[in-house]
Amino acid sequence: MSKRKLKDDHLPVGDSITQVQKILRERFCHQKLPEKPEGVEAQHKHLLELLKRTAIHGESNSVLIVGPRGAGKTMLLNCVLRDLLEDKDVQKNLLQVHLNGLLQTDDRIALKEITRQLHLENAVGDKVFGSFAENLAFLLEALKKGDRSSSRPVLFVLDEFDLFAHHKNQTLLYNLFDVSQSAQAPVAVVGLTCRLDVLELLEKRVKSRFSHRQIHLLSSLTFSQYLERVRAQLSLPGSFPDSKFAQDWNGGIETLCEDKSVEEVLQRHFNSSTDFRSIQMLLMLCLSRVSVAKPTIKPADLLEASRLCLSDAKANMLHGLSILELCLIIAMKHLNDVYEGEPFNLQMVHNEFKKFLHRKSNSMYNFDQPVIMKAFEHLQQLELIRPVDGSSAKTQREYQLMRLMLDHSQIMEALQKYPQCPTDVKQWAMSAFG
Amino acid sequence: MTTVLQHPAYEEERLQRVAEQLPCRELQAGMLLSLMGEPQHYSYPSIFIYGHRASGKSHVMHVLLKELELPHATVSCVECISVTLLFEQVLLSFFGCDAASLLPRSPSLSDFVRVYRQQCSHSPAKETRYIVMEKAELLRDTDANLLPALLRLQELVEDNVTVILLSEIVWDKFRPNTGCFEPLVLNFPDYSKGELQQILSQDRHPSYSAEFYSSYINILLGVFYSVCRDLRELRHLAALNFSKFCEPLAEGKVKETDTHKLWRNIEPHLKRAMQTVYLREVSSLQWEQMQQMEEKETGALRGLSAHTHVELPYYSKFLLIAAYLASYNPARTDKRFFLKHHGKIRKTKFLKKNEKTSNHLLGPKPFALDRLLAIFYSVVDSRIAPTASIFSQISSLVTLQLLTQVSHDDQLDAPKYKCAVSMDFICAISRTVNFDIVKYLYDFL
């Protein structure tokens, strides 16, 4: 122990870096819960009160947490649950059922999952027996038998709530809300969803049983708060074993955030989105560049990470096309310009390409129709062009109507970046009418 | 090649071995390695890698995971025609075959996550587990909830697991309409010409010098680079044509250094290869046989597309010609082409056609059966009774997919057809019956 204590104060750089990676990766990748949820104190208080009333006083409740993706819905709920379970009574008393709309795709599966998680009698080990009707009757009976004072409260968490609304007849939602409305066992139904119009999805009878309590997590972040959040996400906690290293690291982060170029980059990200996830992705890319040889995050790392995040994928794909495929795309662009976005087929594209070759006497791109067809099909596989209608089997391949899935500016930009692009091809692309 | 991969968690020697197997992909491998981090740390829940075909996506992942001995499951989405196979394969490679047998007969995603969690509690991950999904674009066609669930699998199973998706198609085309957990998107750029040259030059023939082989690759790229950048395709072509390239050397006509003469010898040969073996008109076996027998001119062998010539009955040929004329000529010109006394032609108006309405650009138009028969009687010189045999020949042309029936609403009464053969095909057919079809085509007037 004593030896450990001695070492604790001053770790070698390699170990410190490992520690930093461990802590920050847990934060960015594993969504480790923060000490205190930031920016959502009011919602946190509201939800905590609500769940406490269910857990302690046996009141039945239902609530929806609504917010865009990456707004911290699960984080809020988990923080509330953590705080709630600190109470010994609650911990002993409260039963939790976690369902996810992605996993429990219909009511039968959901019901089995509920039975399993509640350890009811018809569940042996991990297996659940009985038909859907039996399970439902059994579950409802079990819930009905209970009353407010004696039975243990149950917390239902429905992640991806909107997907539950697509189940047949919304049986599960109806029954859950019905139990929460009538004087049966105390239940709390918490739904998490990213759809703002989620109430429109519910049937009338289900909607009328829902308490219409909604918690909105809409971010109203200013840029200075955003900057503060970035700093908080990157900083090391006080419990870091090597306090000297932590101090240096936090100082480095401080200077990083004050850097002008960094601020510019962050401003750009702030303008495109303000959710937690996009920050974490950016910071994860920065963090991956930290190593023993380079134990700090430099502004250049952030610039590089931002470049990776914001790069246009289609332009990257265009960069790798062969010159023939690029020529076909330019021909398509001209067809789009001339015929104002009408769909085209391979014959038209080839005709347009031939017109270009015709004007240029000494051409090296005299390819046969089958070679051009192969290039055209490659473009279709990359989904840069897409057939207009699905009935592809009926028409010949060269007469199938297609649409270009690229923007004018994307093509021009790709052309500028294309390695060793022939001048005449470039000029052809520039000319207004092919 | 001074930049060897570096990572403190792995031995130098191993990384060296990895770097040797990944020519021209050091940057990407290094990036992936740093994202994956040390084995016991958490990694990002999902990584999406896109890039062109044969840009080394699967290869880099495979080599990294194999050489560094990380627990992983590689799943090809082409093979997994049902999700059951996918789940079984993942469980099998992580927990052994006992786990896979725990799945019920037609498992849902919920069952998979349940079994995974159960197994995981017995043997928790000491190191990050990786699930590599190849050809991930096929995931879009499966259940709508599979892709979003895979992207957040780490959260669902509460295990240190990372899902890596490999695809040729950009991420924008994957996003479900209610959104999902955004993966970390990485790009594998295409190989440049120099890199292709470097990689292709590695598999040289031992009996020839390296310079000789690389000059061959240079010539090969000179011909094919403007059409094809697929490494696998180029490698295949390089292997097929090398023996031809060495031929003058074996005969003692030229020296190894005489590049110009070698180029003169091989270039037309490669050009022919583009028209035949690149399009798989001629199989590579046939191509090799052709190179053996020199006296026979290469390409003289008929390829696949030359076999499209079909023997048809006499009237079927005329029916097909009539169908082609009906499909590619506007109906208003029928009078002029097929009637003997069609009256005065207003030449100026008739000849004025703009390119946009040319049917050889737009494709065949549907026509009614009446029109087909009218043209048929006009182009056939003798008198034919409209017997059952004529009508059955029409329907057998439909079965042969030389004609297609357009609307299925009424089978017997006034069916509509389209002609589905190419210009070359119909020209060949009309030559056999001595009919000059080009004279009757409006587009070539």
Considering the domain architecture, whether residues A138 and A208 belong to the same structural domain is answered as yes
**Among residues B248, B282, B306, which one ends one of the domains?**
B306
- Average pLDDT of chain B to the nearest whole number: 87
| CATH code where residue A129 lies | 3.40.50.300
Considering the domain architecture, whether residues A424 and A358 belong to the same structural domain is answered as yes
Q: Give how far A313 is from chain B: nearest CA, Å.
A: 6
Considering the domain architecture, whether residues B43 and B98 belong to the same structural domain is answered as yes
**Among residues A176, A192, A216, which one ends one of the domains?**
A216
Residue A80 is assigned to a structural domain of this protein: yes
Residue A18 is assigned to a structural domain of this protein: no
A399 shares contact with chain B (CB less than 8 Å): yes
Considering the domain architecture, whether residues A60 and A186 belong to the same structural domain is answered as yes
A97 shares contact with chain B (CB less than 8 Å): no
Q: Give how far A281 is from chain B: nearest CA, Å.
A: 7
Considering the domain architecture, whether residues A385 and A282 belong to the same structural domain is answered as no
A368 shares contact with chain B (CB less than 8 Å): yes
Considering the domain architecture, whether residues B106 and B48 belong to the same structural domain is answered as yes
| CATH code where residue A381 lies | 1.10.10.10
Which residues, numbered 379 to 418 in chain B, qualify as contacts with chain A under a Cβ-Cβ cut-off of 8 Å? 404, 418
Considering the domain architecture, whether residues A227 and A212 belong to the same structural domain is answered as no
**Among residues A310, A344, A379, which one ends one of the domains?**
A310
Considering the domain architecture, whether residues A299 and A353 belong to the same structural domain is answered as no
Band of pLDDT at residue B147, cut at 50, 70 and 90? very high
Band of pLDDT at residue A8, cut at 50, 70 and 90? very low
- Tell me if A288 and B182 make a contact (CB, 8 A cut-off): no
pLDDT of B386 strictly over 80:
yes
Q: Give how far A101 is from chain B: nearest CA, Å.
A: 9
Domain extent, residue A360, equals 315-433
**Among residues B152, B187, B222, which one ends one of the domains?**
B187
Residue B387 is assigned to a structural domain of this protein: yes
User: How big, in percent rounded to 5, are the helix, strand and coil portions of chain A?
Assistant: 60, 10, 35
CB B239 within 8 A of CB B213: no
- Sort out which chain B residues have CB atoms less than 8 A from A322's CB and list them: 225-229
Domain extent, residue B299, equals 193-306
Considering the domain architecture, whether residues A261 and A342 belong to the same structural domain is answered as no
Give pLDDT, residue B301: 59
Residue A30 is assigned to a structural domain of this protein: no
Residue B4 is assigned to a structural domain of this protein: no
Domain count along chain A: 3
**Among residues B164, B187, B210, which one ends one of the domains?**
B187
A126 shares contact with chain B (CB less than 8 Å): yes
Considering the domain architecture, whether residues B341 and B277 belong to the same structural domain is answered as no
Considering the domain architecture, whether residues A210 and A227 belong to the same structural domain is answered as no
Considering the domain architecture, whether residues A209 and A166 belong to the same structural domain is answered as yes
Considering the domain architecture, whether residues B179 and B217 belong to the same structural domain is answered as no
Do strands A61-66 and A214-216 pair parallel, antiparallel, or not at all (unpaired)? Answer: parallel
Say what the pTM is.
0.91
pLDDT of B204 strictly over 80:
yes
Q: Which of B208, B198, B200, B218 is nearest to B246 (CA)?
A: B208
Residue A190 is assigned to a structural domain of this protein: yes
Domain count along chain B: 3
- Sort out which chain B residues have CB atoms less than 8 A from A103's CB and list them: 108-110, 113, 145, 149, 156
Considering the domain architecture, whether residues A378 and A251 belong to the same structural domain is answered as no
Considering the domain architecture, whether residues B204 and B61 belong to the same structural domain is answered as no
Residues in chain B: 445
| CATH code where residue B87 lies | 3.40.50.300
Give pLDDT, residue A274: 86
**Among residues A275, A310, A345, which one ends one of the domains?**
A310
Query: HEC string of chain B?
Result: CCCCCCCCCCCHHHHHHHHHHCCCCHHHHHHHHHHHCCCCCCCCCEEEEEECCCCCHHHHHHHHHHHCCCCEEEEECCCCCCHHHHHHHHHHHHHCHHHHCCCCCCCCHHHHHHHHHHHHHHCCCCCCEEEEEECHHHHHHCCCCHHHHHHCHHHHHCCCEEEEEEECCCHHHCCCCCCCCCCEEEEECCCCHHHHHHHHCCCCCCCCCHHHHHHHHHHHHHHHCCCCCCHHHHHHHHHHHHHHHHHHHHHCCCCCCCHHHHHHHHHHHHHHHHHCCCCCCCCHHHHHHHHHCCCCCCCCCCCCHHHHCCCCCHHHHHHHHHHHHHHHCCHHHHHHHHCCCCCCCCHHHHHCCCHHHCHHHHCCCCEEHHHHHHHHHHHCCCCCCCCHHHHHHHHHHHHCCCEEECCCCCCCCCCEEEECCCHHHHHHHHHHCCCCCHHHCHHHC
Considering the domain architecture, whether residues B343 and B421 belong to the same structural domain is answered as yes
pLDDT of A138 strictly over 70:
yes
Q: Give how far A339 is from chain B: nearest CA, Å.
A: 10
Residue B97 is assigned to a structural domain of this protein: yes
Considering the domain architecture, whether residues A165 and A279 belong to the same structural domain is answered as no
Residue A11 is assigned to a structural domain of this protein: no
Considering the domain architecture, whether residues B415 and B335 belong to the same structural domain is answered as yes
Q: Give, rounded to a whole angstrom, the gap between the first and last alpha carbons of chain B.
A: 64
- Tell me if B184 and A284 make a contact (CB, 8 A cut-off): yes
Residue B3 is assigned to a structural domain of this protein: no
Q: What tens digit of pLDDT does each residue of A282-312 get?
A: 999 999 988 888 888 899 999 999 999 988 8
Q: What tens digit of pLDDT does each residue of A159-213 get?
A: 999 999 999 999 899 989 988 888 778 889 999 999 999 999 999 999 999 999 9
Q: What tens digit of pLDDT does each residue of B301-333 get?
A: 566 666 667 889 999 999 999 999 999 998 888
Considering the domain architecture, whether residues B247 and B360 belong to the same structural domain is answered as no
Residue A203 is assigned to a structural domain of this protein: yes
What interface predicted TM-score (ipTM) does this complex get? 0.92
Q: What tens digit of pLDDT does each residue of A338-363 get?
A: 988 889 999 999 999 988 888 875 66
Considering the domain architecture, whether residues B39 and B114 belong to the same structural domain is answered as yes
Give the angle subtended at the CA of A314 by the CAs of B32 and B63, to the nearest 5°: 25
Residue A31 is assigned to a structural domain of this protein: no
Q: What tens digit of pLDDT does each residue of B74-101 get?
A: 999 999 999 999 999 999 988 888 888 8
